[in-house]
């Protein structure tokens, strides 16, 4: 039985309830995090909590818990659920008001806090060996993509665009520049150099994005953090998608055309190996 957390209570997920007047339900007025857990150890929990705090502050939403309290709640959710590797979902909304009003409640109401956990499903050996297909689309999202909010309709539409085309992800372009994927960061390999757009208000500051760049630096892989043109993506030798659940997954076709040779390239194979080694030596050991 899956255990969830709602406003101070641990209970079966099937019994979790929030008010229909909750502003997360009515307006998408909330923030969230997805935290990967390996061997019951939450990976970079402090960074996830800090990113949550940044989103809440930008939303002018009171952070209901201290770092230590968040650590304890996440730890308890991990302990109460059966899987050694988990994906913990954490959400904070502005709470339930007595009436539907776009303006913030006055006086403030108690935020709604919800956590649940699911098994952490990472790419299969077959996917890593063959890569996955992606499609592209214009980035139709708002201008604060650096905030991890629950207002996800545009991302859902873009992700469904990939599903409708039998693909794993949608690669997004804004004004002829790469931003990211619908639910991932996108890395480009061209002429032996790993390229990725810099963090900005147009993309989410991904935790896995940071790990990949750290591994590139520590192992001496040539890389550059700079604006990446759409034309560079379409002529890339390799493309990768990265996220806490996808880890490092090669994209071998874009819009029905092969990327490079149409198979995972040498830089992808190397980064996947480094990432898996990092996972087993660091992520699983705290």
Q: 88: phi > 0 → left, psi -120 to 50 → alpha, else beta; which?
A: beta
Those residues with Cβ within 8 angstroms of residue 133's Cβ, 6 or more apart along the chain or in another chain: 165, 166, 167, 168, 251, 252, 253, 254, 256
d(CA 50, CA 71): 12
How is the chain split among helix, strand and coil, in percent rounded to 5? 30, 30, 40
Tell me if residue 148 is catalytic: yes
Going by the DSSP 8-state scheme, the letter that residue 81 receives in this structure is S
Q: Which residue has the tokens 């591994």?
A: 215
CA–CA separation, 111 and 35 (whole Å)? 20
The active-site residue out of 148, 190, 199, 222 is 148
DSSP codes of every residue in 109-178: -PPEEEEEEEE-----HHHHHH-EEEEEEE--S-S-TTS-BS--HHHHHHHHHHHHTT-SEEEEEETTEE
3-state DSSP assignment of residue 89: strand
Tokens describing residue 69:
């309290």
Give which of 21, 22, 18 is closest to 9, Cα–Cα. Answer: 18
Cβ atoms of 35 and 90 within 8 Å: the answer is yes
Cα separation of 260 and 87, whole Å?
32
Catalytic machinery residues:
148
């Amino acid at each position: 039985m899956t255990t969830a957390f709602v406003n101070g209570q641990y209970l079966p997920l099937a019994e979790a309830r929030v008010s229909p007047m909750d502003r997360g339900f009515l307006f998408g007025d909330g923030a969230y995090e997805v935290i990967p857990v390996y061997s019951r150890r939450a990976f970079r929990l402090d960074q996830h909590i800090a990113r949550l705090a940044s989103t809440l502050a930008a939303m002018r939403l009171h952070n209901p818990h201290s770092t230590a309290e968040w650590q304890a709640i996440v730890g308890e959710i991990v302990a109460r659920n059966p899987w050694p590797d988990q994906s913990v979902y954490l959400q904070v909304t502005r709470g339930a008001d007595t009436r539907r009003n776009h303006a913030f409640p006055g006086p403030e109401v108690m935020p709604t806090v919800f956590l649940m956990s699911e098994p952490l499903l990472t790419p299969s050996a077959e996917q890593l060996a063959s890569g996955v297909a992606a499609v592209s689309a214009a980035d139709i999202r708002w201008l604060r993509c650096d905030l991890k909010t629950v207002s996800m309709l545009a991302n859902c539409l873009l992700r469904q665009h990939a599903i409708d085309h039998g693909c794993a992800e949608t690669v997004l372009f804004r004004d002829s520049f790469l931003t990211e994927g619908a639910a991932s960061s996108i890395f480009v390999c061209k002429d032996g150099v790993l390229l990725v757009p810099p963090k900005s208000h147009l993309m989410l500051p991904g935790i896995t994005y940071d790990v990949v760049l750290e591994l590139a630096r520590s192992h001496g892989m040539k890389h550059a953090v700079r604006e990446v043109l759409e034309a560079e993506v379409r002529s890339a030798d390799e493309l990768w998608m990265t996220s806490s659940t996808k880890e490092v997954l090669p994209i071998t076709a874009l819009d029905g055309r092969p990327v490079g040779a149409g198979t995972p390239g040498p830089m992808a194979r190397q980064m996947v190996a480094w990432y898996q080694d990092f996972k087993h030596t660091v992520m699983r050991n705290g």
